[in-house]
Structure 1
């Protein structure tokens, strides 16, 4: 009897070992390095909390604020565009199957390829956006979107939204199609308008899905590295530098492994707050669903 009880736990041992090797050990090693001056130099010494103090003495709060701005702008636009796309794709119009197929390329195309395409479009000399702006009279001459601090972050957000919105649209479309049609037919019989049906039926019933995909998108966007790095590498003059970009520049580009490890620990703490918020909101949504 005891062997039967232990057998399920023995099956978990390989997965537990892999998790310890891939996840736990790097976390412990990163935490250890954060208290050292590790770099390319052969001798490493402990420096206590010096790396953490230096983080707050630098422009940490400015970078953190920019990271939250990047995340809020990106997630808000992705949810709005994705919700609008899901509503249009769910409508009973001719050719909606073709529209659903056309929605996939931005998500299927490899992210580096898509970002390179947008970087060419943003080019002031031969980019399409600058050319169209000059042709219709909005721009007086070539406009370098990625070379200006006031437009580089917005350009990166637009690129990120173009990549991420299709997945959200498909996710919310699946949620909409799971709503019973009887509810819409009853509301239509009572004379409810299309907007009223959306506000009173569709939106409340897909709200758990919106919360779930919204929080997951927030974590993905907060962790996003490739879009900003390929477009601007954090420039110009740090106007698009987020926490993950600052971490990479410090720990990898400048070979300051100890300081980079300290920044990674701070980054992990912020992500833990996101994870806690995610679990708390999911728990609330689950309670509300259980009371219905």
Structure 2
């Protein structure tokens, strides 16, 4: 065999490699689809539990649905909302939410500072602060309802002993005191989580910043005002926004204590919606009120998501 007629290797090697690559791509496509198949049951469950009730609520809000009958009324339910005492209920809702969130942030910030300080028994205090959040809300609120009782409640008894009141006082029987009682109970329930959230933010601050400020002669108040507060400000805003969402949508605290009374002084939007739809069987009007609550919560959620996106961009 001459040099010009050397034996050449088989030609289809490149085609075989291409075939292998194509087969690999097909296998990757099959493998990549597997996680999405696993999501199908959860997606169906979400559609059944969340999407369908939401769609049904929107549909009912355009009807006068009651027990045994239902007819289309257009936007009449939404018009009636604004003609009733809606604005007073909304004002009360935002007042209740504003007082509760403000007090929870203040109490939580004080608690976080104390938990972060080098004080004896700090670990025990971290454990003792959690029961209001861990205990089921119904149990905790029932405990407060007994404490508010004028005949055998602890608060009325202590107030009489210290001469603040002359006789038994039913805190839940009067509008202003009942409203403040629900705020105090809500603050008691929500403060521990706020305190631990802010404590985690404080402990993420580099100690070198405090050491440098201490070396320069900065006092504790100056370090707190110039270092701690600015660095935990995003966390304060985040937990305040989350607390606002939870407080706005809170039902159990008010319902267990007062059921929205006396004379509607503790009726918030969520309580009004429940009474309209469940107690009075006016499902169409109740659905319209629920849609209004959804709009408010969506606005809160939009602000929260925008804050999270901004925080992530800042971290990068």
TM-score (normalised: structure 1)? 0.95
Residue 14 of structure 1: how far off its partner (Å): 2.3
Query: Residue 287 of structure 1: CA displacement?
Result: 4.1
Aligned position for 1:108: 134
Return the alpha-carbon distance in structure 1 between the equivalents of residues 230 and 52 of structure 2: 43
- Partner residue, 1:218: 244
CA-CA distance at 1:5 after TM superposition: 4.3
Q: Which moved more, 1:261-270 or 1:239-248?
A: 261-270
Distance in structure 1 (CA, Å) of the matches to 2:196 and 2:70? 50
- Is 2:248 aligned against 1:228? no
After superposition, residues 8-87 of structure 1 pair within 5 angstroms as 8-41=35-68, 43-87=69-113
Supply the distance in 2 between the matched residues of 1:136 and 1:113 (Cα, whole angstroms): 28
1:289 positional shift: 4.2
Query: C-alpha distance in 1, partners of 2:147/2:266?
Result: 18
2:158 alignment partner in structure 1? 132
Aligned CA-pair RMSD: 1.4
1:179 alignment partner, SS class: coil
Q: Which residue matches 1:93?
A: 119
Tell me, in whole angstroms, the C-alpha distance in 1 between the residues paired with 2:127 and 2:137. Answer: 19
1:254 is the counterpart of 2:280: yes
Aligned length: 289
Deviations 1:234-255 (A, max 9, x none): 0000000000000100111111
TM-score normalised over the length of structure 2: 0.88
Question: Matches of residues 165-244 of structure 1 in structure 2 within 5 Å?
Answer: 165-244=191-270
Distance 2:180 2:51 in 1: 37
- What residue number does 1:119 align with? 145
Instruction: Work out the CA distance in 2 between the residues paired with 1:9 and 1:112.
Output: 39
Per-residue CA distance 1:189-237 (angstroms, 9 max, x = gap): 1111001111111111212211111111110000000000000000000
Distance in 1 (CA, whole Å) between partners of 2:81 and 2:122 is 51
| Structure label with greater radius of gyration | 2
Distance 1:97 1:214 in 2: 25
**Aligned partners of 1:274 and 1:93: how far apart in 2?**
37
Give 5+ residue unaligned stretches, structure 2.
1-25
CA–CA distance in structure 2, aligned partners of residues 166 and 40 of structure 1: 43
Post-superposition shift, 1:107?
1.2
In structure 1, what is the equivalent of residue 4 of structure 2? Answer: none
Residue 188 (structure 2) pairs with residue 149 (structure 1): no
What do residues 62-106 of structure 1 show as CA deviations (whole Å, max 9, x unaligned)?
Answer: 101100001000000001000100000110011111111111111
Does the residue aligned with 1:93 lie in a helix, a strand or coil? coil
Secondary structure of the 2:259 match is coil
For the residues of structure 2 that align with 1:216 and 1:277, how far apart are their CA atoms? 10
CA distance in 2 between partners of 1:194 and 1:246 (Å): 47
| Matched position secondary structure for 2:118 | coil
Mapped partners of 1:7, 1:120: distance in 2 = 55
Structure 1, residues 3-35: CA drift from partner, whole Å, max 9, x if none? 344334333322222221111111111111111
SS at match of 2:165: coil
Q: Identify unmatched segments of 5+ residues in structure 1.
A: none
Q: CA shift at 1:57, angstroms?
A: 1.2
